[in-house]
Structure 1
Amino acid sequence: MATPRRPGALAGAMYLLTHVTSVGAVILYGPMLDDDRWSGGTGSGLPQQLGALSDVVLAVAVVGTAVALFPHVRRRSETGAMAYVGLRVLEASIAAVGAVLVIAAVQMRAAGEASVAAGLVEAYRWAFFVGPGLVVGFHTTILAAVLLRHRLVPAWITWLGLAGAPLVTASNLLIFFGREDQVSVTASLAAVPIFAWEVSLALFLLIKGLRLPRVDQVPAAQPAVGQPAAV
């Protein structure tokens, strides 16, 4: 007899894919992000193009996490499920826009338009900041609250999300208003709980799955007064 697929396992796989592709994109972008001379340089833009492709896969995986969790979360909170999907789609859309900006920057660099390429790279930085930066705090709070209330995963995992969401949001708001650099020790430390939340949740979903009640544990409907029980 086939073993039923663990509920939420697909979402766990999608979560892990988002981390692999996001880290891969940063590595492939390389000097585009940390060397101001890249825009005026020469040479192949293939690594950056592959990085943009990684961001496209990231966008698909981000939507995949929401789609995979939606039917399970909706049974507990339809509003929470819809809000989570909407925010994840928003995050994925911004990531896809970022990929387009990178491709355009590579083309402008190849055409010798260094100033345009530099502007497109800066636009990418802020797209990344708004998407995986600001939006993540909101959808993390929503999902973690639903999972905690209905005990779908261990409480310690949800508390990582609930503690990390305001920290990363506050850090990103400081960056937004110019009070903190995008790359700093403070920003890195603020992101640690969110990273731990997503990795822990991904592994738990992949290995254990959501803690859903078994069908034989769901209370049977009681017959109406005056009506015989079904046999």
Structure 2
Amino acid sequence: MDANRRSALFAGVLFVFATVSYISGNAIIESVLSAPDYLQDVYSKKNQIVLGVLLEFINSAAVVGIAIMLYPVLKQHNEKIAIGYVGFRVIEAALLIVGTIGPLLLIGLSQKYIAAGAPDHSYFQTIGALAAEGSLSAFQLAMLALGLYSLFFCYLLYRSKLVPRFLSGLGLFGYVSLSASAIMELMGYNGMYLYAPGALFEIIFPLWLIVKGFNLSGRT
């Protein structure tokens, strides 16, 4: 297996690993925080929160790993875009890590809330809501960073024909949609439905890398 094929394989595996770890971690955290009386539950379920956060940390590491694995291949076609892709995926990972601070803060807040007798309409609820909103905003900023710079990434894929152009075209459309979704969510609108095209790309693209690898001949 040559270096380019190995880079494609590892990047594809890391894409899948990142997706599975983030979805799992977020689902575990949301299973606790989605309850109406979550402040009363968080402390007793702190191990679930910590597990969810650890899975999201794994996702952040995998995100950076993807860029590192793809860098040698992308560099052959455009070094500036390759470097920028690594940089923006580091920014994405950092923002995702910032987003995990909120759930961790809620553990201590929940402990104090219970010790205070679980008062209704107190500052505990306000702080809890701010922590949750801060985490969501950090996530949306991470998605905005991912979406915007991945347009350059998909443009490079399209121009170089490293993958079939229908796939890089799907990526361009998907990341435009992801960027629009993140902006809408940050402005208080529901943009979740715009995740679908980008999610589809991030399923098909890694599978293509794992099974086929890059087309280094420039023909599709």
TM-score range, shorter chain: 0.7 to 0.9
Q: 1:21, 1:57 within 8 Å by CA — same for their partners in 2?
A: yes
The one-letter amino acid paired with 1:63 is V
Q: 1:105, 1:118 within 8 Å by CA — same for their partners in 2?
A: no
1:79 is displaced (CA, Å) by 1.1
1:107 is displaced (CA, Å) by 2.3
1:118 is displaced (CA, Å) by 3.5
- In percent, how many aligned pairs have the same letter? 25
Runs of 4+ aligned structure 1 residues displaced above 3 Å come to 113-118
CA distance in 2, matches of 1:160, 1:176: 24
Q: Hey, what does 2:112 align to over in structure 1?
A: 111
Cα RMSD of the aligned pairs, angstroms, is 1.9
Q: 2:181, 2:192 within 8 Å by CA — same for their partners in 1?
A: no
1:110 is displaced (CA, Å) by 2.1
CA distance in 2, matches of 1:177, 1:119: 16
Match status 1:93 vs 2:103: no
Q: How does 1:1-231 map to 2 (within 5 A)?
A: 3-4=1-2, 6=5, 7-41=7-41, 43-112=44-113, 114-115=124-125, 116-131=127-142, 133-178=143-188, 180-181=189-190, 187-213=191-217
1:37 is displaced (CA, Å) by 2.2
CA distance in 1, matches of 2:77, 2:2: 21
Q: Hey, what does 2:120 align to over in structure 1?
A: none
Q: 2:32, 2:45 within 8 Å by CA — same for their partners in 1?
A: no
Q: How many residues align?
A: 205
Q: 1:95, 1:127 within 8 Å by CA — same for their partners in 2?
A: yes
1:119 is displaced (CA, Å) by 2.5
Corresponding residue SS for 1:111? helix
Q: Please list the CA deviations of residues 158-199 of structure 1 after superposition, one character each: whole Å capped at 9, or x if unmatched.
A: 111111222222222222222x13xxxxx3331111011111
CA distance in 1, matches of 2:163, 2:216: 9
Give TM-score, length-normalised by structure 1: 0.82
Question: Over alpha carbons, which structure has the higher Rg?
Answer: 1
Q: Which runs of 5+ in 2 are unaligned?
A: 115-123
1:52 is displaced (CA, Å) by 0.5
Q: Which runs of 5+ in 1 are unaligned?
A: 182-186, 215-231
Corresponding residue SS for 2:134? helix
Q: Which moved more, 1:93-102 or 1:73-82?
A: 93-102
Q: Please list the CA deviations of residues 37-88 of structure 1 after superposition, one character each: whole Å capped at 9, or x if unmatched.
A: 2124452221111110011001100000000000110110011101111110
1:125 is displaced (CA, Å) by 1.5
Q: Hey, what does 1:222 align to over in structure 2?
A: none
Q: Hey, what does 2:117 align to over in structure 1?
A: none
